[in-house]
Structure 1
């Protein structure tokens, strides 16, 4: 029946909306008479649209309906399909993901009933359940049919997400075990005389042994045979060989129902040239005398699965101790690496970029890396002796052999790559590890993995990202050959060619491999003690550099520091002997420009990185800083030398703070990244503010001493305002201040004023002398009358001005005013004088509130840089620092007189007090706090990465990646970082609009 044009147009549109790529063909299929009873049912199209390939699912559904023996069977299927969502999801999910299983259902039209049950036992069947499903198979053909029926149930749970990729692989291994048992039973039934002569054990190896089998894979086995009591050994082994061969043919041969999978016994001793079945003693002798390293690696996953399980257990008990001695063999690591290289070299050039399993960054990279570490450390740690890759990886992380962050990334990547492999094989049930090239295949594959917006592009992006992670982490185990390639200590030994070394460095993320090799050669070559220690350190350091966004910078900076300190006895000893020192240094040197630049000008500050397991990175108190700077100033011969000494302390302490920030953000192998980002923000803000205060104190002392000796003619104090007064300075922040003086008794006011102004001018001059250090700029623009007003006023002048002329913005600016240095009593009296102004007893009038809102709007309109994306501007953008701070400060102006907790200069403390007083909900306060902390960290990150201040994210990809790494985003996740920032800022802006702009 042909649809009317109007209906066809409507259906055509609906089909497109539900993901069909050929709506015309789908319309014809929907018009099939078999679908007539459910054609217009509202659940059908959405259910088809939820599958990996709706067109394929619909086609095979029609085929399945056509294959039903009669109308009653067809109606039963339709009724169950529409009424039972579990069956609908399972059946259509399989039909949309697997053409091969669709073909099976068309041939065996009643097998769909295997998907009806939804009991707990059906969710996670084991070997016994699968054995029951195969029990009625009496020949190879019926075994294949029963096997596909069981496979159908696994695939249904897999595509519906009832089980994850690890559970799927384990169930496939259990089904393979049950199939091997049934095949062996059929072989024994065909030759009972052979079965009577021998004990035969089937040992699963590889993925089947490790409970991580693919949908279509060779099943690797080894056979062990022993004569029954009284039987001749030679005849028993011949009988066992016939049984083993028959069992392999039952599984491997092609019939009218196709094949199951090849049974591969080539991992046995001597491979294809060795006997198919050996006695246990023969196996043990072979492994003790002749086995190669890779053969012990293959035994990692050995597991008895069929036949005489007692004999199989004897086999594993006898050989497992040999496995864990393999790492003691000469050239063990080199042998494993060589085998991995050989695998990659044998991949056809046309396939290497599509190889999901064997190519660079593929599944085998994860497996080799994990197995190598298992063999090395499993000798003494039995917790590592798992045949499952993911379980072993988890154990390696728990034992400290792999960094937890690395293990988590490898786990995620392995699961994604295995899921891709499963879905590729499921489509045709063919053994392949190649990613398809056809767009339709890629679309189906992407949709099967839950990628729906742009399945092909998302799939390619995710695949490349995970492969990159795997390759980078895998290569961490292969650094030492790079040193062998450049150190030239043993000319007769094989080593990486320069080209191979460069390729390896590129894989690790080095943009200039030639320069990296030169640095390695300079550091590691020679026979000196220094070079020997460097060769010990570099393999680990290279891994940490590669974990950063700029490995080249990390290695270059390490060479510079080593050149500066290489002859200092304590330097290399510190890195070699003091736990976290080397890793801390690697993190600092590769995290951006600021910290390395500071360290290059004060290389001895490396010592801070190893003091008491990171204790040397704790910021010093303002009291200690001031004492040290004042002592240095006291020893200087003039003011210039005094300020240079203060700058030296500031340089070292800025490095200490930056290093603590970086290490806290990156984390180390022994110390995870700081969970509380707010704590890092408070650490940096407090440390930089204290350091700035101490530096100003030293500069003030130097100026007064040089100009007036011990006593200035006027009392003089410095008040911090803005971020300085709020203990919230960033690495590149100016120091906002107010200067206050008060003539001493008997001193003329004019003389006092001249002295005070001279102090300010001299302080500013000295602090602005050319220097390679980060600048310390004094900004007094928040003083009365702004730039038009005098730089210094007496306390009485401030009081008179504020009483008569103070504008709203000036009272607003006083909210973060705090004594910094100078005459403490004068500073205290200034603060007492301004308290009634910034915390007015009557709060604010409506017009004053409107004025504050106008000022904020004007500031953002005038100061936002042209062309900047407001949504990513950490200071002035929606939900940025300005939004949060002005909202908090408006609450302080309105309620500070009656709410004591609001009388603080610190934004986060004031926000917490506002929540405690009920002025803002806990949820909204949390939203604002999160946004403020994130925006502050973005500004700190930009300064650390670029070496200069900035309020928005860098545009350079490597700099953006470095900011992301500081904020906790791994390689390839810069987009996620920007999305997360926008989300956080958007939520904060919603709160700001309610609190700041609503009366």
Structure 2
């Protein structure tokens, strides 16, 4: 900072200081001889005429500030509130209230400016102190005015007779606790219920009461008296603006925000913060407003809206010649706020962590989530701090709400000195660099989507608009590579006519007109454009009325490229998105789309999705679980179709998704029940005493797309009389039965995002007529003495997928003991063979030139039965056979042990892989699980031969 010997303080300001010194001398007030005090005093008097004049006119206040030590220390939590409470303790009547508030504000402003310019307080402390000053003034004033208004007019009550209080929302910088030195405060007033005031001298509605209360609050804070003002108050952000009622009921506000609010009001509501009000009412109001601000889907329309809003601001500034405005001008504070808030509007509904108000917290989250480069966030942070300091120094000069850089030499020199620069030129270089950096990042974030080179673009526009004759349109489609141009033209025409009949908004029509030529061009570039066109149009038909999705595809043309590419490969992919458009979000980042997650990453993603869901909000829990499962299955399918991951690990990924989801369902269902009933007692278990077994494809780590889950539930209760330990105790048996029921409900109930999984419980002991949940002891006894051979076959593929570790260990012991029993080989062979014959007779769909991949002779089930027969026959002698549940590793173990003749195990493994590959591909093509009878002939014939040798003849095993 420059020396005041070369940049002297304004003589007038120095005369104010000499006046205070004279007063201090007359009144025996000691003046600090500390050198730091003198240097800070000079800087403050140089930068702030407001402080110099305030001290000269009210010398005793400054003396008290020095004596108290408040100039030199940071305030703690509650200090300002306690100080104001004391100042208002004896106040009676509004004139006295107005005076006390203004004296309080003046004292604290002098302190805050002293600490800011004197570099005793960092910017964050200055903004926090200013925001807290506003908060306590609003709350304490409102408390007094409420009581006085009730004494005069009566008490407003809700329909149940509860006395109501006004809710005050702080907007803008107050809402974010980022208030600057001479900011106005944006307020919205609301009350919970309509009705009438009780006990007053005349009939009065609640609205009339709260409008009057709001008027008195505004007057108390904003009216300029001989003592100045407290805060300028702006209430124009309320519904309907200046023409709307000053205070509105929650219901009226909800109606407004659902049907009439404008896009910029969503932007404004990001920073809305309750400053005063009953906590329950506050929660209700914020819960009502949240869906208006934060949408469930990624709302890329926000970029378009904020881009338009910024253009309007720039146009107005240019008209007024206000390029020097550091708030609204190019590279200014507002551009930094727009960057953060655009991402909040787009992603805040899906990522509740982004629903924070302070801009620096938002920027930090954008870096953490890799939505912006970390270095860009550092640059924006630095620029924001610099610009906010400039803003404060501009306003500290005369306590005026200005954001415009001075144009006179004296003002420029003063501002530069207050910022620590030797002159204006040095300051201006740094300021302009920050503004250049901010504008660069803003332009990058809000740049209009870049269109690819024309490549016949005008033709696609004309084709979409239907501006050309039929022959020309057919020619365009044929040249683009469509095999059936006439069918493609008909599809386009039907889609265009269908969307026209849907009555889209003007914005929706504009977005569709902008999007469709891109769609047609990108689809035409696919390997199979005919297939891709029909499938992509089905997706667009599903989202046409939800213009935010259209905006998302316009803002990110890469989404269209991924959609068309994958649509040409699989109808499964577009069918999922058509029914659940939220999945379009997954197409934004190709790095993420083609990189399915493993278990730890899946757990982390699910943690984030559920982090802000209320533990009692079952509907939202299910919704988030469904989004999690479907989004991750979509990624697996994308990586599978494009061969980023090998086919044989597709089931590994799908199985892990299911396991993570089932584990979280168990966790949430158990937490819900234990809150009500406590925890089961007298159990075998370390945690829940509950175990979820996966059978079939889940147990065998062989899940496919759309597979249901074969589950069995066990519990560890060791006493039939055991009860839970909560206040509403129930038996352990009841607890675990309800736990199983709730889990099934959470997994199978249809929500807006579909169902989590279909669940099949028929493999439990006694099948569909058996108890939903059995104890581990009962399960062991059943397997030992009552289970059929086919149930032991099923047990081979059973494994724990979620639950208590102690029960997992006990189940492993039971399973091993059952599977390793000595068995009669011939009797076992006959039972397994006969069961397979019954199954084939009932389930085989081989007919009309199509082969059933699973149930046909030589298909997947034949291999599974041969493996299960081999395990049950030899496990007693070779316990390693029960180490695995999946067929490939079981076959590898059989090969290592040389239990099957020749290359039988290797042959079966290769056939199994080929058949499963065809099964997977059929699922993605949404084809029946059959193939033409002339496919995979060699593999099927080898399986049939081995079936005959092993299961029909059997003598080969005795050789």
User: TM-score, normalized by length of structure 2?
Assistant: 0.44
